[in-house]
Structure 1
Amino acid sequence: MSDLKPLFGPDDVEVLERVTPFQGFFRVDTLTLRHRQYSGGWGKPVRRELFVRPQASAVLPYDPRRGEILLVEQFRVGALEWRQSPWCLELIAGIADKDGESAADLIRREAMEEAGITLGEMETIAAYMPSPGGTNERLQVFVGQADLADAGGIFGCPDEGEDIRALTVPVAEIPELLASGLVDNAASLIALQWLLLHRDRLDAAWDGV
């Protein structure tokens, strides 16, 4: 494993210039920088555009007693031009936009807003960078215990343009769902496959919660 550790760190990058040509709901920065190279010395200055996003969190609600999960479906502009439908099945998720709010508290709030459910015990599945070649976004993914007996319906904050459908899916149908291609975003794929690997352990821990 020692061979897999990066040879360089933050001190091996020199930002020569950073400007912000766009600032809206999100931000785009243009950086001129140079960094050390494996062959030795510093490389030539390069220009990189960076899509700046706050940290985000997502959760897969799981009911061990019913053997069900909950997913949400909503319109996504990024899927408009190439996908069969721009309405995507995905995890409950949100962006850290409140000072001092932890990732766990953020996702509990989003679970109520997007699906009307209260989360119990939670466990971190992964924390990763969706696309570090062009954005600084970092996503923390959880699995959360939930009672899904009466879950489902239409949710969201209308004043934020949200129109979200929450629906439950039997865990037994996850392999078929993965094979269907209906779920094609990274956080959901990671969480669903993780649950298949760790379900027995979660059932033992959460069935009595």
Structure 2
Amino acid sequence: MSKFFKADADAVDIVRRENCFTGFYRLDRLHLRHRQFSGEMGPQISRELFVRHDAVCVLPYDPQRDEVVLIEQFRIGALGKRDNPWLLELVAGLIDTDEAPEQVARREAVEEAGLTLGVLWPITDYFPSPGGSDERVHLYLARCDSSAAGGVHGLAEEGEDIRVHVLSFGAALQALKEGYVDNAASIIALQWLALNRDEVRNLWG
């Protein structure tokens, strides 16, 4: 796709990088110049960067029952932004060790939903908010048996209190339409499954 910008080794000049905060996450401030579409280097700009571990999100799907497994938990980012800060989401976790994304998906499914996943189907990798964060999300569909899924799960030492919901695919789409599902990974995964469901069921059926 030659019509799009192609960065070379000199496309970005980082003049200075300073650490503003370090905790579980990190906030850096970068002073830099980058090449513009004219070919010239632009003026120096300053940008704050939220430095996060990459994340893994997975939508467990039972092709026999045509059901998905979603989880519900309190999210600090939704507090004050919506009436109910308990969100309906995918199973998810951070890559904060040397684990591969697939390993994180399987571990988090056990911790958050009590599920043992079967085949993983990579959906996509994406940046959820590249204007200010370097986090990249690895998104999967996973085959599962939803017949015994349910209950409350999570690691007590991490303050997790996670309720499992099993929904028919139709009910999950309706929850999406009605705004009960309003986070990026869940929206992308459910819409992807809507587009590819026949193929998935044929292969996994």
Where does structure 1 lack aligned partners over 5 or more consecutive residues?
Answer: none
TM-score, L = length of structure 1: 0.95
Deviation of residue 10 (structure 1)?
Answer: 4.9
Match of 1:111? 109
After TM superposition, the structure 1 stretch with the greater mean CA deviation from structure 2, 113-122 or 168-177, is 168-177
After TM superposition, the structure 1 stretch with the greater mean CA deviation from structure 2, 171-180 or 73-82, is 171-180
The 5-angstrom pairing of residues 1-209 of structure 1 reads 1-3=1-3, 5-99=4-98, 101-207=99-205
Change (3 A) 1:9 1:161: farther
Q: Could you say what secondary structure the match of 1:113 adopts?
A: helix
Q: Deviations over 1:57-85 (max 9, x none)?
A: 00000001111000001111000011111
Q: Could you say what secondary structure the match of 1:11 adopts?
A: coil
Q: Is the 8 A contact 2:68 2:172 kept in 1?
A: no
Change (3 A) 1:197 1:7: same
Q: Deviations over 1:152-180 (max 9, x none)?
A: 11000011011101110001223311210
RMSD over aligned CA atoms reads 1.1
TM-score, L = length of structure 2: 0.97
Q: Deviations over 1:36-65 (max 9, x none)?
A: 112232111110000001111000000011
Q: Is the 8 A contact 2:54 2:136 kept in 1?
A: yes
Q: Could you say what secondary structure the match of 1:120 adopts?
A: coil
Q: Deviations over 1:77-132 (max 9, x none)?
A: 00001111110001000000122x11001110000000000000110111000010
Q: Is the 8 A contact 2:93 2:105 kept in 1?
A: yes
**Paired positions, count:** 205
Runs of 4+ in structure 1 deviating by more than 6 angstroms, as ranges, are none
